[in-house]
Amino acid sequence: RNRSGQWVLVVLNYSEAEKPFRFSLSGASGRKTWRLYRTSDRPGESLAPAGTLENGEAAALPPRSITTFVTEN
């Protein structure tokens, strides 16, 4: 958790191919929506907003990228 009490997960995709990624946070009441931020070698992708996911949904991790997941609630 960060100082604000939000859950934070950082996922790296070192491969040259897009990879699916799915996780589910259990036992964390009320923490179900995740905001995504993307960092890669693409112009403009330095902690760039990359959408939201509900707990348990799959995310597509672009090649050679870092995706940071932060709970909204």
What pLDDT sits at residue 17? 97
What pLDDT sits at residue 6? 87
Model confidence at 73, in pLDDT bands (50, 70, 90)? low
Write the pLDDT tens digit of every residue in 4-45: 888 899 999 999 999 999 888 776 565 588 999 999 988 989
pTM (two decimals)? 0.86
When pLDDT is averaged across residues 48-68 and rounded to a whole number, the result is 94
Question: Exposed/middle/buried for 67, CB within 10 Å: 0-12, 13-18, 19+?
Answer: buried
What span, in angstroms and rounded, lies between the C-alpha atoms of 70 and 14? 21
Query: Measured on CA atoms in the order 60, 61, 67, 69, is the torsion positive or negative?
Result: positive
